Amino acid sequence: MSETKKEIRNEVLTGERAIFQGENLEIYETIFMDGESPLKESRNIALYGCSFKWKYPLWYANHIKVDNSTWFEMGRAGVWYSNHMEVTNSAIEAPKNFRKCMDLTLSQVSLPNATETLWNCDGVKLNQVMAKGDYFAMNSQNMQIHNLTLYGNYSFDGVKNVKVYNSRLLSKDAFWNSENVTVYDSYISGEYLGWNAKNLTLINCTIESLQGMCYIENLVMKNCKLLNTTLAFEYSTVEAQISGKIDSVLNPTSGTITADQIGELILEKDKINLSNTKIICKEEPEKTTEHIIKDEDIESPTKMCYNKLS
């Protein structure tokens, strides 16, 4: 038999730890005004139409539901060290939210100041979330993301075990140092995409990136488009199927790159083993830059790597 919850309605609460260690509560249209940590160490609480106007409202909390509510700008560092939490239909203006949380769901949530948000969290579900701010989702793991719109650089640094679907990421240095990330049916625009990642898979994605997808161990791309993407794949092990043209490719470590066309193929024999990479396209690259190849007896990189796409 479930325990009956006490109701709090239409209150304006002030002072530090206003409902400290609160349990089994339903809170409606209540404003948490000044005073830090109003719901610290709370348990089994549902909040509807509430407003958080000061710092640290939900720390060390468990089994929390928040709907149709607002974190104002000074409600910063709002949810840290909290587990089993669901936030729906809400606006979070405050930065540095959600740190070291487990089992966190955000659905139809806007985060217009998402700087340093979602750090070191485990078990995160995002659905129809808009976020704007740098360093989003650093070092989080086990994430399922649907319909995310992100404006902000250095996102997803160090994340592990992440799946992203139908999203739009405008983010320089996205997915650096990440591991086991798969992105489906999404648009990504930003320089230096994916550097130092391991097991990065991009499926049906459209990408624009200066020096994108470099220094990656096990990069897989299936049916992707690369718009205005130059100096791609440097020192990456790559299996890439690209629809359309790649503007330029630089020193991939190994693998197979298939594209309709390559603008410039840059291969430096003193830096890579040319025989480890196969280039397949309909036409030979418009320009091939072949460095450190002066011996007439050495076969050219184009001849060693290039295969015509039938």
Can you tell me which residue has the tokens 């609460």? 13
- Domain-located, residue 21: no
The pLDDT assigned to 178 comes to 98
- Domain-located, residue 97: yes
What's the burial of 12, exposed, middle or buried (CB within 10 Å: 0-12/13-18/19+)? exposed
E-assigned strands of 93-159?
A: 102-111, 122-132, 141-151
Can you tell me which residue has the tokens 């909290």? 82
Residues 6+ positions from 4 with CB-CB distance below 8 Å: 24
The pLDDT assigned to 307 comes to 62
Give me the number of domains the chain comprises: 1
- Domain-located, residue 29: no
- Domain-located, residue 125: yes
- Domain-located, residue 75: no
Residues 6+ positions from 2 with CB-CB distance below 8 Å: none
User: What does the alpha-carbon distance between residue 119 and residue 123 come to, in Å, rounded to a whole number?
Assistant: 12
- Domain-located, residue 221: yes
The boundaries of the domain holding residue 136 are: 81-308
The pLDDT assigned to 3 comes to 67
The pLDDT assigned to 309 comes to 57
The pLDDT assigned to 283 comes to 72
pLDDT averaged per 10 residues in sequence order, the chain, 310 residues: 82 96 98 96 98 98 98 97 98 97 98 98 98 98 98 98 98 98 98 98 98 97 97 98 95 95 91 92 69 39 53
The pLDDT assigned to 40 comes to 98
- Domain-located, residue 42: no
User: Using an 8 Å Cβ cutoff, are 82 and 58 in contact?
Assistant: yes
User: What does the alpha-carbon distance between residue 253 and residue 258 come to, in Å, rounded to a whole number?
Assistant: 15
The pLDDT assigned to 78 comes to 96
